[in-house]
């Protein structure tokens, strides 16, 4: 159906109607995922299909940014997990990643994405579909077996620390110079970006940040910084917001983005301003209005939130 052409999230019943009646059938949606990929630089269209703890099925795609080096691109596994986070899913159960253009072979994520997946709250339960071109269905293997000598959040964070895909509130408030914020359902970009920053996963550098975007039709998108213990697989807030844009904009080009706001902590150890500006200057509308606001921790609220854990 035409209205489903840009669909990235499927309910269990919708996935079943596409042939995904059980996890081993996730590849039934892989061609749909690959058709949505934005591999303008690499020329490869790579797709991933994952099943969340809720039973919903998500698509992941590679996203390149014309004019920028490939190391700024988003891998399909990163896209999928970020979209899980943006939709407040609690976990990822199974994942299938196509490693051939004919959608016959399915393999392990690259090392970068294996490490990224390690940040999720249920990483020990994630299963990856492994299938050669000689197999009819393939089989699932556990993520932890693909990283036998892994460097994981458990090696750094205190026991019981909330991980990616777990509920969090960074208790941030805008600095006085940024002015007041409105209710969470307002349409002000700085308020949306602050809300995104409060969901940001940055336990290693304590540098939460969020980005909100507006396109020429007035539609809002948001995303937040997702950090990796290995650092290099981390995904910046503007890339995360662009995941939301790709997933919900129904095929619009990045040049339709006309306004953007970044919210980050005062004196953050890791500032996102330079990277966000560089990406948006390259791909967004020529007259895209980019603003940066700073925030601080509301310590009174932080004490209340932490006491409830």
Active site residues: 77
188 among annotated binding-site residues:
no
Cβ–Cβ contacts within 10 Å for residue 56, how many? 17
191 among annotated binding-site residues:
no
Look at residues 122, 117, 109, 127 and name the one whose alpha carbon lies nearest to residue 24.
127
The enclosing H or E element of 261 equals strand 257-265
113 among annotated binding-site residues:
yes
Chain length of the chain: 309
CB 69 within 8 A of CB 100: no
Q: Which two tokens stand for residue 210?
A: 């969020």
Q: How far are the Cα atoms of 12, 83, 200, 230, 268 from residue 205, in angstroms, in the given order?
A: 37, 23, 12, 12, 8
Look at residues 88, 91, 121 and name the one whose alpha carbon lies nearest to residue 222.
88
Look at residues 14, 25, 82 and name the one whose alpha carbon lies nearest to residue 234.
82
Residue stretches of the annotated binding site for Zn(2+): 75, 110, 113
Residue stretches of the annotated binding site: 75, 110, 113
């Amino acid at each position: 159906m035409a209205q489903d052409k840009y669909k990235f999230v499927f309910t269990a019943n919708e996935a079943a109607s596409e042939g995904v009646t059980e996890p081993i059938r996730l590849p039934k949606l892989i061609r749909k995922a690959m058709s949505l990929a934005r591999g303008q630089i690499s020329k490869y269209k790579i797709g991933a299909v994952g099943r969340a703890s809720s039973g919903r099925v998500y698509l992941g795609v590679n996203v390149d940014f014309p004019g920028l080096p490939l190391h700024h691109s988003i891998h399909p596994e990163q896209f999928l997990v970020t979209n899980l986070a943006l939709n407040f899913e609690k976990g990822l159960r199974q994942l299938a990643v196509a490693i051939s253009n004919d959608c016959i072979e399915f393999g392990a994520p690259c090392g970068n994405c294996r490490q990224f997946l390690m940040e999720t709250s249920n990483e020990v339960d994630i299963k990856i579909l492994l299938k050669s071109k000689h197999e009819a269905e393939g089989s699932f293997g556990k993520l932890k077996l693909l990283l036998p000598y892994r460097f994981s959040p458990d090696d750094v964070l205190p026991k019981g620390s909330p991980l990616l895909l777990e509920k969090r509130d960074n208790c941030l408030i805008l600095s006085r110079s940024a002015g007041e914020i409105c209710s969470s359902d307002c349409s002000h970009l700085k308020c949306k970006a602050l809300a995104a920053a409060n969901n940001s996963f940055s336990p290693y550098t304590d540098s939460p940040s969020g980005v909100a975007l507006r396109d020429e039709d007035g539609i809002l998108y948001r995303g937040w910084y997702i950090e990796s213990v290995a650092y290099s697989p981390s995904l910046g807030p503007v890339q995360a917001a662009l995941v939301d844009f790709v997933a919900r904009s129904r095929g619009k080009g990045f040049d339709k983005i006309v306004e953007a706001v970044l919210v980050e902590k005062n004196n953050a150890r890791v500032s996102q301003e330079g990277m966000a500006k560089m990406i948006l200057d390259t791909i967004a509308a020529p007259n895209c209005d980019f603003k940066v606001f700073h925030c601080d921790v509301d310590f009174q609220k932080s004490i209340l939130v932490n006491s409830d854990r």
